[in-house]
Structure 1
């Protein structure tokens, strides 16, 4: 936890140590005391330097920060913060994710005045959250960090993947989509799924992920592309057209809303409507082969968060949606998270399918794509 009022900077050695600490499950909290702009500017600049490949983003109201202990319906600020540009109801916390966990939190507006119960009349210049909001955020922050800390290093991180024949020939290569948005979530998920798929089917697979931009000609080098994310995004016209061509020429798009996040779900559906205005995503019936071979899947175990959101007391029916083109499922989409399960990770706030069933479903999906 670092707070302050004035400008600062980390040395490159400190950044290196922080990166190691955060990747190993630690959390960094930066708070601008009194909402002072000097500290805020420096903190945001350091966020950009800390993980250049993981851009900081605004935590929207569906983030667990606002629901992990108190279910916060809105955000309120002190008068000085409102005068400086904050708006009641609009969240302002900034984060950086590592896998599905937010490992860095930056609060541009002061929390500690509220934690200290400093009333407006005693601290009228405090540019921060009002007392109830600050206290709920503090409790939620601790609840989130405590829960995620135990789940920060999944079992899959202890495994090594070896590809004895690195050439592409005779191999089933999966590309992961790079798009205009935060596209990188579970970095070992595909490796783990491919390993289980190989054990189940004996089909040779390539363990290294192929990361391919959606607007790249290299998209056509793979039979399928995997797309995942947590956040809102918007595809460029070039990305939409290239992905549409890929699918119409026989490629398959497999997508999931990682952790079952609503922002990704909403924006993925919008992107598909733009891409295929003449078609719609439809739920795949349970008698479809994708649920029956090589694993017969009639029910799956939801994570506690998904069970609560669905008001389910036990297992649920598997749920996939798809767009069918020329008799095959050309777009396959899960609105619930699969990749945390593939990676054998525990995501306390994820709306997802638990590991055994997620892997079984993933194997069936890959097998279907390979045969169609």
Structure 2
């Protein structure tokens, strides 16, 4: 198999059959290429993204009249090969199995296969997931060389799968600083890293823990042992007592890095669809428990919401810091209820405004206390959180003056947090002496004239008891926002100065939602946030 992969790496072609340049069996070869890529987990042969390039080649050659494909095998057979390539290769990629390790200086090949100690671990785990009731039946996985990703598409290479998987039985010193930066950017843009120790290796355990320090040297994000009450232990199978040990790093409301200091991969490697023939019941139970844990981690990381292979993630365009005059600056309102829970939400909103609405924004998002006079220089404030908080009367008085002088506040409860919601409503009554009121779904801020037509959006509604698995229903309907509207000055129309959602927007902006996060789905949350900011600017 390794020799075959090396041959394909050196000889990959899309427009011709590399085995016979003038062969009439090009489409048969492409179907074979798809099978080889799928079964070996290769996203790239050499530097060629075989599915993306192959899909482009085939769709360009498709008949505009009847949708078929011509070929030397006859139109019917040729069309069948093309459809097999496109349909089977399109299955969602669940996991990128990361390739790393010391390299041969002449060939640049990885010389020590630490990353692949258990060859069938990920393929078996994905196969086990694909036969479960609430998952798509066609799922795939792929290997991804960190060096190729670093020199090629960067973060977008990792973003083709929601989970990056890192395992081994040696240290991780061969992972370069550029690759460490790539992993950090992937996490900060909504990715998920799952590390699994192989063969009870102390070297890998220490290496993975040190990798986290290399990724986040400031110490703001640290690896901690997960509590038994963590959502991952109820994401699919419920582990009521003595759950397998996991460690994690939290980003906002979500644990975006998980680490298993036990070789579950060895058990995944031994899993079989038909396990009834296995004589040892104890071994079968151990394998089953490790599979259940793996499924739970995948369910937690993805929320069972998967993208197809051709769906490109939103690019993270850089915010320029060379010139800030004329650029929109969105401030963050500081409070004691978790004001920085979704730390990247505002910067990601700024990128979305630049990319989707051509609104220039500053790279920084200054933080203001409610009694800071400097907040009057910031036309829009953003506020979110999870816990209880309160404002002093001095802070409430200054915020009222801020709104009277043209200021605007956009706010949401992270993951639909009830404590924050209750505190926010009390704070609004303290400031304005009135309650929040529903904003009609036909209001201009939800129309395409403001940016996007978001009069119908999708929202996640978690449903779980204390000892049951976490499930979430996705419902489509009108956006549910509330606000405070004040009279316009000098005959100007009335305007909203506060727009609030008791359902999550912030974690969605970070792409860090989980199954237990009550809020709008990622794409709709971005559109809603963009529309609200545009509304504030145009008043």
Q: Equivalent residue for 2:460?
A: 303
Change (3 A) 1:367 1:285: same
Q: In structure 1, the residue corresponding to 2:513 is in which secondary structure?
A: coil
Q: Work out whether residues 342 and 506 of structure 2, in 8 Å CA contact, stay in contact via their aligned partners in 1.
A: yes
Q: Equivalent residue for 2:121?
A: none
User: Does the alignment pair 1:282 with 2:464?
Assistant: no
CA distance in 1, matches of 2:393, 2:471: 35
The structure with higher relative contact order (CA 8 Å, sep 6+) is 1
Q: Equivalent residue for 2:537?
A: 370
Deviations 1:220-252 (A, max 9, x none): 010011110011112222221221111121101
CA distance in 2, matches of 1:156, 1:188: 17
**Which is further off, 158-167 or 174-183?**
158-167
Deviation at 1:288, TM superposition (A): 0.7
User: Does the alignment pair 1:329 with 2:492?
Assistant: no
User: Which of the residues 163, 170, 176 maps onto 2:320?
Assistant: 163
Change (3 A) 1:25 1:203: same
CA distance in 2, matches of 1:100, 1:30: 15
Bigger CA radius of gyration: 2
CA distance in 2, matches of 1:157, 1:224: 24
**Which is further off, 213-222 or 155-164?**
155-164
Q: In structure 2, the residue corresponding to 1:290 is in which secondary structure?
A: helix
User: Which of the residues 446, 451, 472 maps onto 1:291?
Assistant: 446
Q: Work out whether residues 337 and 389 of structure 2, in 8 Å CA contact, stay in contact via their aligned partners in 1.
A: yes
Q: Work out whether residues 156 and 192 of structure 1, in 8 Å CA contact, stay in contact via their aligned partners in 2.
A: no
Please give the residue correspondences for 1:1-372 in structure 2 after superposition, counting only pairs within 5 Å.
17=213, 20=216, 26-29=223-226, 98-101=251-254, 148=300, 159=316, 161-167=318-324, 169-277=325-433, 279-292=434-447, 293-303=450-460, 305=462, 314-326=475-487, 327-372=494-539
Deviations 1:34-76 (A, max 9, x none): xxxxxxxxxxxxxxxxxxxxxxxxx9xxx959986799xxxxx
Q: In structure 1, the residue corresponding to 2:524 is in which secondary structure?
A: helix
Q: Work out whether residues 252 and 507 of structure 2, in 8 Å CA contact, stay in contact via their aligned partners in 1.
A: no
Q: Work out whether residues 321 and 363 of structure 2, in 8 Å CA contact, stay in contact via their aligned partners in 1.
A: no
Deviation at 1:329, TM superposition (A): 0.4
Q: In structure 1, the residue corresponding to 2:476 is in which secondary structure?
A: coil
Q: Work out whether residues 235 and 300 of structure 2, in 8 Å CA contact, stay in contact via their aligned partners in 1.
A: no
Q: Equivalent residue for 1:109?
A: none
Deviation at 1:255, TM superposition (A): 0.7
Deviation at 1:265, TM superposition (A): 0.5
Deviation at 1:163, TM superposition (A): 1.0
Change (3 A) 1:158 1:202: closer
Change (3 A) 1:306 1:176: farther
TM-score (norm 1): 0.61
Q: In structure 2, the residue corresponding to 1:302 is in which secondary structure?
A: strand
CA distance in 2, matches of 1:24, 1:371: 38
CA distance in 1, matches of 2:376, 2:295: 44
Deviating beyond 3 angstroms after TM superposition, the runs of 4 or more aligned structure 1 residues are 16-27, 63-71, 95-98, 141-151, 155-160, 306-314
Q: Work out whether residues 156 and 343 of structure 1, in 8 Å CA contact, stay in contact via their aligned partners in 2.
A: no
CA distance in 2, matches of 1:19, 1:165: 26
Q: In structure 2, the residue corresponding to 1:181 is in which secondary structure?
A: coil
Gaps of 5+ in 1: 1-12, 32-58, 72-94, 105-140
Gaps of 5+ in 2: 1-208, 239-247, 258-292, 304-311, 488-493
Change (3 A) 1:296 1:310: farther
Change (3 A) 1:297 1:212: same
Q: Work out whether residues 176 and 227 of structure 1, in 8 Å CA contact, stay in contact via their aligned partners in 2.
A: yes
Q: In structure 2, the residue corresponding to 1:265 is in which secondary structure?
A: helix
CA distance in 1, matches of 2:227, 2:473: 38
Q: Work out whether residues 324 and 330 of structure 1, in 8 Å CA contact, stay in contact via their aligned partners in 2.
A: yes
CA distance in 1, matches of 2:472, 2:314: 32
The alignment yields a C-alpha RMSD, in angstroms, of: 4.2
Change (3 A) 1:313 1:205: closer
Q: In structure 1, the residue corresponding to 2:458 is in which secondary structure?
A: coil
Q: Work out whether residues 23 and 98 of structure 1, in 8 Å CA contact, stay in contact via their aligned partners in 2.
A: no
Deviation at 1:204, TM superposition (A): 1.4
TM-score (norm 2): 0.43
Q: In structure 1, the residue corresponding to 2:454 is in which secondary structure?
A: coil
